[in-house]
Amino acid sequence: MTSAPTPRSRRALTPQRTEGTAAKRTGSAARTGRVAAEHLPVARVCVDIPLPHLDRPFDYLVPQELDDRVVPGGRVRVRFAGQRVDGYVLERVSSSDHPGELLYVDYAGSAERVLDPEIADLARAVADRYAGTLADVLRLAIPPRHAAAEAEPEPPEPTGAVPLPDPNAGWCHYTAGPAYLRALRQGRPARAVWTAMPGEDWPTRIAEAVAATLAADRGAVVIVPDARDLARMDRALTRCLGGADRHVVLAAALGPRQRYRRFLAASRAARRGWARAVVGTRAAMFAPVARLGLVVIWDDGDDQHAEPRAPYPHAREVLLTRAARCQAGVLLAGYTRTAEGQLLLETGWAHPLVAHRAVLRERAPRVIPAADDVERERDPGAVTARFPSVAWRAARRALAADTPVLVQVPRRGYIPAVACMTCRTSARCPHCSGPLALPSATAAAVCRWCARVAVNYACPTCGGRALRASVIGARRTAEEMGRALPGVPVRTSGRDEVLDTVPGTASLVVATPGAEPIAEGGYGAVLLLDTWALLTRADLRAGEETLRRWLSAAALARPASAGGQVVVIADGGLAVVQALLRFDPGWYAERELAERRELGFPPAVRMASLTGTPEAVADLLSLAELPAGVEELGPVELPEEDGRPMERMLLRARRAAGPALARALHAAAGVRSARRAPDPIRIQIDPLDLL
């Protein structure tokens, strides 16, 4: 091309090309002697480069010899800015709008269509929502290629009808339960927030919902937090779907080959139009499924559902987006209800599925709150001191009845939070409602969000002026308790070793939250210890999270009629404890959401956090054309990284301004990366850890 004064405008007049001319204007083609494919010679490619300003398709010519391997959704290798990079073919088109010469696609390994069109579309939407790039999302969505797995033979299409679930088996105990199953059976996009009752066999209930969906010849995606839940879900699906050939289990932990193999199985089934179920941990939220009719997420409050890699999407949000785009049903499920679930109910987008009160009373264990007296904290080492007599009584009673006892102990390493010395209300910034921190024993409290110093802080609840950082740290109590209860077998289940199940006989099971084994017939007693550590976590979601953990442990107890007791060592006046006592997480979620509305926290608002060096954060902010009404909080200092100071800034916007906020941040990041700004910035939308 000769240099024109305004090449862009001149080239814009160039008419759309046919395949022949497209090939001719490529100089490199003449040199290499390559010829473009006759039909649809242009491939629009998403190159695997994470730079925000390159987050758009690039066009390449398809050489004749690769005609049948450069397929929409396939992988290719292309030259980009002088380097060879991988990319995905988004589509094949007859001509390009690109004014310059097109390069040829270098290489296409196989014609396997790993990027389903629905997923490409979803990935774009997710990237937009999270101010990220399509390439980053595709990296989360598509496992790395493993060539050997592509050559393996495919299983045949399963034959025979899916057994129909009985809507009166388990779902009849929930308001609108049978109607929900019926709607799925008819292929309607029924959306529900389900609060499972204690003792519920939730994998079976979910499997029934999946069976109803498959019976309507639509597909389903089920996401669970961890491998243990995945194994349970797999078993339930095998049982309810009359075999293992109608669902695919996906998990990152499988290893590269198995992982790619399973992904291919799902992908090929979807391409053939076989309605199937995919079940997995969070990466499976992007698995291709034909005619998606239902998305399910179990325990959507579990932080395992938040992807730690850019652009940090949350499985709940991805699935909701996906369902909305596909007209699919939704089942947001858990023993508890998140504020996000509550919001879906209050906007009328989803319906509640809650247990009928009478059944709940029948199934629930008895919950006994035991006062958490301040005295004990002076002597945290002594088990007996941490362990009120009510708890000992409940434990001994359960053991005497030859039933197991579950002891839930928080994990170590919670960040100390600041609370009122007198009434223990968490201390919040009077200006922005962020959490306060005590930099040192003598210094005044500082807001972790807006960095304002809270001088003369007064507790809004009791007027107290003294603050203290709660000293937290859960000790392993297993041996000590074992010593106190001689002759009783003691088991532990935690990070290092997670037990799936324990026998229904007298034993002591000490577990950290999320690692509680299921006991045959249920636990005779569940003891919730060191609850102070959970309740005062320096986390906005401390209350919700505490209830979630308590309920998942309490749900494993026997019904009160069979002697099941739950002892929670906390003040019975606290709302969280009240919610546990009444087994009413819906009530708590209402309060929680109302409070977040008042304080301006997600999901009532959209938040964005910007993390980086102070210069980088300031630079990004100066470039970003933020929508009107965005509130800037901070910045606050973070610990140094590689000897460089780091800070974090929060942006608060109305939910409706969320897309515009993400767009503005992505655009600003694009400008920065285009001019090779040295320090990167992490942009997170609605991050879980809003400290």
Partner DNA sequence: TCAATCCGTATC
Partner DNA sequence: ATACGGATTGAC
The answer to the question of residue 2 lying near DNA (CB under 7 A) is no
The answer to the question of residue 12 lying near DNA (CB under 7 A) is no
With left for phi above 0 and alpha for psi between -120 and 50, is residue 311 left, alpha or beta? alpha
The answer to the question of residue 82 lying near DNA (CB under 7 A) is yes
The answer to the question of residue 60 lying near DNA (CB under 7 A) is yes
Query: Measured from the CB atom, is 51 or 421 closer to DNA?
Result: 51
Tokens found for residue 463: 């007027």
By CB under 7 A, the residues from 646 to 675 that bind DNA are 673-675
Q: What is the DSSP letter of 243?
A: S
- Binding-site size for DNA (CB under 7 A) equals 24
The answer to the question of residue 3 lying near DNA (CB under 7 A) is yes
Q: What is the DSSP letter of 109?
A: -
The answer to the question of residue 102 lying near DNA (CB under 7 A) is yes
- Rounded to the nearest whole angstrom, what is the least distance from the CB of residue 500 to DNA in the complex? 46
By CB under 7 A, the residues from 103 to 132 that bind DNA are 103
CB-CB contact of 156 with 243 (8 Å): no
The stretch near DNA (CB under 7 A) out of 92-100, 195-203, 492-500, 554-562 is 92-100
The answer to the question of residue 622 lying near DNA (CB under 7 A) is no
CB-CB contact of 296 with 210 (8 Å): yes
Q: Which of 20, 27, 100, 273 binds DNA (CB under 7 A)?
A: 100
The answer to the question of residue 93 lying near DNA (CB under 7 A) is no
- The single-letter code of the amino acid at 605 is V
The stretch near DNA (CB under 7 A) out of 77-85, 216-224, 261-269, 285-293 is 77-85
Tokens found for residue 512: 């950290």
The answer to the question of residue 96 lying near DNA (CB under 7 A) is yes
Report the 3 state secondary structure along 467-515: EEECCCCCCCCHHHHHHHCCCCCEEEECCCCCCCEECCCCCEEEECCCC
The answer to the question of residue 676 lying near DNA (CB under 7 A) is yes
- Rounded to the nearest whole angstrom, what is the least distance from the CB of residue 75 to DNA in the complex? 16
- Rounded to the nearest whole angstrom, what is the least distance from the CB of residue 620 to DNA in the complex? 16
With left for phi above 0 and alpha for psi between -120 and 50, is residue 243 left, alpha or beta? left
- Rounded to the nearest whole angstrom, what is the least distance from the CB of residue 18 to DNA in the complex? 17
CB-CB contact of 296 with 323 (8 Å): no
The answer to the question of residue 83 lying near DNA (CB under 7 A) is yes
11: Cα separation from own chain's centroid: 45
Distance set, CA 180 to CA 177, 190, 216, 331 (Å): 5, 7, 13, 10
CB-CB contact of 34 with 70 (8 Å): no
Side by side, the strands of the sheet bearing 83-93 are: 58-61, 42-47, 83-93, 75-80, 105-107
The answer to the question of residue 59 lying near DNA (CB under 7 A) is yes
Query: Measured from the CB atom, is 95 or 578 closer to DNA?
Result: 95
Query: Measured from the CB atom, is 406 or 620 closer to DNA?
Result: 620
How many CA atoms lie within 13 Å of 161's alpha carbon, on the beta-carbon side? 7
By CB under 7 A, the residues from 22 to 51 that bind DNA are 51
The answer to the question of residue 348 lying near DNA (CB under 7 A) is no
- Rounded to the nearest whole angstrom, what is the least distance from the CB of residue 38 to DNA in the complex? 19
- Rounded to the nearest whole angstrom, what is the least distance from the CB of residue 332 to DNA in the complex? 40
Q: Report the interface residues with DNA, using CB under 7 A.
A: 3, 51, 53-54, 58-61, 78-83, 96, 98, 100-103, 673-676
